Amino acid sequence: MWPGMALSIEIEEVLFSHKSKYQQIDIFQTKTSGKMLALDGIIQLTEADEFAYHEMLVHTPMFAHPNPQNILVIGGGDGGVLREAARHDAVKKIDFCEIDEEVIKAAKKYLPFTACGFDDPRVKIHIADGNEFLTQHQAVYDVIIVDSTDPIGPGITLFEKPFYKNLKKGLRTNGLIATQGESIFLHKECIMNLVRMTRELFPVQEYANILVPTYPGGHIGICLGSLGPEIKEPSRQIPKKILEQLKYYTPEVHKASFVLPGFAEKMLGSG
Ligand code: SAM
């Protein structure tokens, strides 16, 4: 994911290494970034900076929506997205669709700081492909969050148009989607494609950028689409109880994450 470049992270110990039906799963103890999960050799999270990605991927769409009650999370087998979604009192139900049960099992054993998301009683786990799951669940959700791997291996379908069409069909009136949006410096073609698909399907489309040191280029994007609510600002006051628990997301960061560098603005402006 870093063409012509590499990121070095000093490893102290390999805690878990296993080839599942879908992918190679590795969990490491690093020297300075805590525990780290890699799938097919690609970093998915480190204990030191996962909060930035998980808070922004969840709270940006959840606070843009006026009253998110029914949530679907696709991917995200580590549980970090669930942990953040469960902070919202309005939420009644969180369907969680992950293709690889082995990732969930490994996270529960080695990554308790994200896997605590599975403890919430509103979470219902479905082991299935996200696209197939959506074909059976239409007009159900207020917010759908896609915490996918990159467009490699089982994640490929989650970057294609039929999936985006199904995401739209999965939403209720005023629903929103937020999907993992790669790096504006390194994955231009992929991002332009995501933005183009979202723009064709949703009346409101936006792209946010977040700082995450261990993702390619030190940042990652979120591609968002909405059937109604504006996305660039929270639609309501952020409860003090939630803000006190967060380390990255604030209402100001919500707005600022949509201000992109000039080249990215130009790139996405043309769709
Ligand atoms: N935040 C991470 C990143 O961008 O590097 C992604 C983390 S999360 C571990 C990604 C999860 O998506 C994996 O557990 C993987 O098994 C799951 N996944 C991949 N393809 C999927 C699919 N088609 N349906 C459902 N889950 C999928």
Q: Is the model's pLDDT at 271 over the cut of 80?
A: no
Hey, which residues are catalytic here?
Answer: 147
User: In this structure, which residue's CA is closest to atom 3 in ligand 1?
Assistant: 44
Residue 31's pLDDT band (cuts 50, 70, 90): very high
CATH superfamily name and code, 47-269? Vaccinia Virus protein VP39 (3.40.50.150)
Per-residue pLDDT at 3:
83
Written as six digits, the tokens of 56 are 């922004």
Residue 270's pLDDT band (cuts 50, 70, 90): low
What average pLDDT does the segment 230-255 reach? 98
d(C-alpha 38, C-alpha 164), whole Å: 26
d(C-alpha 27, C-alpha 107), whole Å: 9
Q: Is the model's pLDDT at 38 over the cut of 60?
A: yes
| Domain locations along the chain | 47-269
Mean pLDDT computed over every residue of the chain: 96
Identity of the amino acid at 166: N
Query: What's the 95 CA to ligand 1 centre distance in angstroms?
Result: 15
Q: Which residues line ligand 1 (CB under 6 A)?
A: 22, 39, 44-45, 53, 74-78, 97-100, 103, 129-130, 147-149, 154-155, 157-158, 180
What average pLDDT does the segment 241-251 reach? 98
Percent of the chain with pLDDT over 70: 99
Per-residue pLDDT of 147-159, as tens digits, reads 999 888 889 999 9
